[in-house]
Amino acid sequence: MRALFAAFAVILLAVSPASAGSKLLDYGIYQTGGETNCDFSKPIGNCDLNSVAHVATTTEIPGAIGVTFGVRYATDGQTLVRHTVVFPPAGLKNPRFPQVVHVINNDTSCSGPDCSSLYTLDFPWEVVTGIWTFQIWAGGKVVIEKKFRVVLPNKKPKKVDGVKTASLSP
C-alpha cells in the first residue's frame, strides 16, 4: 500500500518549473532499509524510505509482496516535481476504501542526484499485473517516464510422485 516517494515533502497546487537537466539514473528493483513517516489516510499510502539500494535493472517486475520498484533520477539543483504512477487499467482497490485508484500524484521537492519515485507491493490487493507507468513531471511536462510490466511468478510444472503439478517458483 505504500507509494514510496523519497524526498517526500510539500504538497503543492502547481508544479514549478524544473531545470532542463532532469536525468534518469537507474530503474528497476530496489532494496530498502525500512519505512518511516507513513500516511495511510488515503487509498494508496505514502512512506519515506530509509536507505535505498538499486539491486536490478529491469522493466519486468515480479508481482510479489515486498518487491519495491521504480526510478531514481537526478536534477540540476533544487526542483519541484510531481511523481505520477499510472496503474494498469484494472487499477488498485484497497478494501478499506470504496474507490478504485488508477493514478496517484505526489508533488515534492527534490535536489541533486538522490531523487526517486518508488512503489512497494505490500498487500495482495496491490499485486495487479500489467503496465505500470512512472512519470516525473516538471514545468508542466513529463521529463522522465518509465514503464514496468508487473507479472505473476512463473508457474513451472513440478513432479510429485511422478505426476506433474503446477507450483509457483520465485
Helix H, strand E, coil C: the string for 17-52 is CCCCCCEEEEEEEEEECCEEEEECCCCCEEEEECCE
Name the pTM for this structure. Answer: 0.78
Q: Is 103 helix (H, G, I), strand (E, B) or coil?
A: strand
All structural domains of the chain, each given as residue ranges with its CATH number in brackets, are 2-168 (2.60.40.2390)
| pLDDT at res. 160 | 54
* Rounded average pLDDT per 10-residue block, the chain, 170 residues: 41 38 92 86 86 95 95 82 96 95 93 88 94 93 95 67 46
* Cα–Cα distance list, 30 to 56, 141, 148, 154 (Å): 7, 26, 14, 21
Amino acid occupying residue 166? A
Q: Indicate if the alpha-carbon torsion angle 24, 30, 36, 37 is positive or negative.
A: positive
- At residue 11, the pLDDT reads 30
Q: Identify whether the C-beta of residue 3 lies closer than 8 Å to the C-beta of residue 45.
A: yes
Please state, in angstroms and rounded to a whole number, the distance separating the CA atoms of residues 112 and 154. 38
Residues contacting 98, CB < 8 A, separation 6+? none
